[in-house]
Every structure is written in C-alpha cells, then in structure tokens.
Structure 1
Amino acid sequence: MSTSPFAVCAISADQQIVVVVPSTSKVTTLSKSEVIDLFMGRFSETNKGQALVPLDYKAESELKGDFYQTLVNRSLRQVNSYWSRLLFSGRARAPIQVSSIDNLDDLFKDNQNYVAYVPMNAVSKEMKIVLVLE
C-alpha cells in the first residue's frame, strides 16, 4: 500500500465530503450543479456572478475518487479521461492542482475566490462550508 498525503485524512464511508471556500469569501452557499460546473470546467463563476477558482489535488486518493464519484457519479479514471479531452481541445482550464489539504489554509489566506473539497473533519477556521455532498 502506498503512502498518500491524505493518509491522515482518509475518509470512511459514513464521513461526508464538504465543499469549502475561504472564511473571508462572500460566497455563502453553492448548489451541487454550481460545484459540478466549477470542477468540470463548464463555468468559472456562480449563478450570482461570483468568480471562483477550483482547487483539486495532484495525487490520486480516496478523497479525490470519492469526491468525483459523489459529485458526478464518475470514477477518477473517467474524470481524468474527460479532462484529457477538454484540455486537448482547449475548451476549458483544469482546476489548479495542490499537493495536499495541508496547503489549503495558506492558499485561502491569499485568495478568497478559491473553492476546494475536504473531509468534514479537516475543516479549519480558515474555511467556510458552502455545500455538504450527499
């Protein structure tokens, strides 16, 4: 079994994944369809016109796989294939890649337009929950 930067944050089947923005963000809630649009490269702003920049994790992990399975009912392999086609065609820009959840607090301090996903138990005071995935 390989070591992952998410090992300490591995999620169990009953633990929820939440979508978060910086605590200073003006965004208070996002719909699931808005999160799909953001993370699948369809739009870079909410229905209310607020620009958001999605952050995703570089490494494949249980968290990343569970997020996309819950969000769009696709495996990580299917999501990677989807992004390969979009990037090749030049029709979209992929989410910014970050190395781990540990980097989010610092990133959130620098830009209130970021949006990311974390397990519920990883939410910090620098983050505001805008959607609980079910």
Structure 2
Amino acid sequence: MKAYTLVMTLLIFATSTFANVAVIVHPSNSNTVDAAAITKIFTGKAKSFGDGSKAVPLSQKSSSATTTEFNKKALKKSSSQLKAYWSKLVFTGKGTPPKELSNDADVIKMVSTNPNTIGFVSAGSADGSVKVVHTY
C-alpha cells in the first residue's frame, strides 16, 4: 500500500511538472479555445476565434525552451518540422508564421494590450493581465 501511495504521488508530481506551457489570450476574449483550436491557429489553418474575431498568433524565438515544448506538446512537431512546414506555406503564398517575440514578458505585454492576440508562455509567467486558456 505504501508503494502504491508513493507511485501515485510521484505520478501526480511528474504530471504537474510537465505542464509548463500556458496558452494565453486577452482577458476580454470570451472564446473557448481548446487544444484543437490552438493547433489550427498556430499552424495557420484558422485565422479567427470561434466568434469570428481575428486571431493573431504570437510565438517566441525558435531557440527558446518554451517554444520547443509548445511545438512538441501543442503542435506535435519538432522545431525543424515546423520550420519546413512554414517554409512551404510561405513559398507558395499560403501563409505566414506567427510573429516571433523575444520572451515571456514580450508575449504577455503584447497579448495584454491586443484582444486579437494569442500566445504562449512558461506556465509560471502568466499574470493577471492575461487569461490562460490552456496548459500543456
């Protein structure tokens, strides 16, 4: 029984430590933004939120650990796969990648001032100026 309790405790702890990327929107955004919508917005397959308002995705530098985690967990792609994906869309004129910002603070600042933006940050970085809609 003690072993079972220990295993369950470790499992809960491990699960919580892996949920380290938060997807954020402006606090006034009342749309339901689930994992499927996030994937569509960040791959350019959707250009708007559920209510029809424009969705502007914001990313971070491709070299950041937060971006690597987001790409892996939310988009199910490595950084190189995503780069190839966007290169093809840009070349054919069918899309443009999300705007890249430098860090969590820049994403939070941009999202908190523009209701049409959606971005991702390290889960611990999100503050009261933005609304977390999903955590990975």
TM-score of the aligned structures, taking structure 1 as reference length: 0.80
Does 2:32 match 1:29? yes
98-107 or 76-85, larger mean C-alpha shift: 98-107
Q: Provide the C-alpha distance between the structure 1 equivalents of 2:82 and 2:132, rounded to a whole number of angstroms.
A: 24
Identify which range, 86-95 or 50-59, moves more after superposition: 50-59
Q: Which residue of 1 aligns with 2:100?
A: 97
1:52-67 map, 5 Å: 52-67=55-70
Task: Give a deviation string over 1:96-133, Cα, whole Å, max 9, x none.
Answer: 12111111233234311110011210111111011122
Equivalent AA in structure 2 for residue 30 of structure 1: V
Identity of aligned residues (%): 24
Q: Structure 1: which 4+ aligned runs deviate by more than 6 Å?
A: none
Please, which runs of 5 or more residues in structure 1 have no aligned partner? 1-11
Q: CA deviation at 1:50?
A: 2.5
Q: Equivalent residue of 2:106, what SS?
A: helix
Residue 31 of structure 1 and its aligned partner are, at CA, apart by 1.3
Q: Give the alignment partner of residue 126 of structure 1, picking from 124, 129, 134.
A: 129
What's the RMSD between the two structures over aligned residues? 1.8
The question of whether the paired residues in 1 share the 8 Å contact of 2:31 and 2:50 is answered with no
Question: Is the aligned partner of 1:114 residue 2:117?
Answer: yes
Distance in 2 of aligned mates of 1:125 and 1:56: 20
Matched to 1:53, the amino acid is: V
Question: For 2:59, what is the secondary structure of its paired residue?
Answer: strand
Measure, in 1, the Cα distance between the counterparts of 2:76 and 2:109. Answer: 30
Q: Structure 2: give runs of 5+ residues left out of the alignment.
A: 1-15
Whole-angstrom distance in 1 between the partners of 2:107 and 2:72: 22
Name the counterpart of 2:81. Answer: 78
- What letter matches 1:18 in structure 2? A
Higher share in helix: 2
Matched positions, count: 121
